[in-house]
Amino acid sequence: MNSEPIHPLTVTRSVCPLCHKELLTNWVPDNIPFFGEVMHITSLCECGFRYSDTLILAQRKPVRYELKIKNQDDLDARVVRSTSGTIRIPELGVNIEPGPASESFVSNIEGVLDRVEEILGMVTRWGEQEKTERALELLSILEKIKAGEYEITVIIEDPLGNSAIIAENATKKELTADEVTHLKTGMIIFEK
Distance of CA 90 to the CA centre of its chain: 17
Look over the chain and give the mean of its residue pLDDT values, rounded to a whole number: 87
What's the whole-number mean pLDDT along residues 176-182?
88
- Report if residue 1 sits inside a domain: no
Could you tell me the residue range of the domain that residue 43 belongs to? 10-56
DSSP letter for each residue of 104-173:
-EEEEHHHHHHHHHHHHHHHHHH--HHHHHHHHHHHHHHHHHHTT-S-EEEEEEETTS--EEE-TT-EEE
How many domains are contained in the chain?
2
- Do 167 and 87 share a structural domain? yes
- Do 116 and 29 share a structural domain? no
pLDDT at 190 over 50: no
- Report if residue 25 sits inside a domain: yes
Q: What is the pTM of this model?
A: 0.74
CA distance 117 to 70: 19
Per-residue pLDDT reduced to its tens digit, 69-97: 999 999 999 998 888 889 999 999 999 88
Per-residue pLDDT reduced to its tens digit, 16-50: 989 999 999 999 998 877 667 888 889 989 998 88
